[in-house]
Amino acid sequence: MNQHISEDKDSESISSCPEPHNLIGELLQKKGDHISAMKHFRAAWALEPTYIPVRYNLHVFASFYTDGKCAYDESDCPIDEK
């Protein structure tokens, strides 16, 4: 029973972080479930609007023309040089 309680706490902490939502969104996008992927990207963005990988993924996968590249972490995000 104690293990079940700790698993519930772990799932609560995971659901309050943007990273798992971003990764689930990427998996769903690769499987072709664009609508569910976008829901997870938006959930990640709602949890942490400054999380760069999810901002990148929202931008890439919400556009009409995408190269299909996704950002797993900040190193996957191109730097805008203005």
Residues in Cβ contact with 28 at an 8 Å cutoff, skipping those fewer than 6 apart: 34, 36, 37, 40
The predicted model scores a pTM of 0.68
Continuous segment of H or E residues that includes residue 44: helix 34-47
What pLDDT score was predicted for residue 6?
40
Q: What is residue 81's predicted lDDT score, i.e. its pLDDT?
A: 44
Mean pLDDT of 3-29: 72
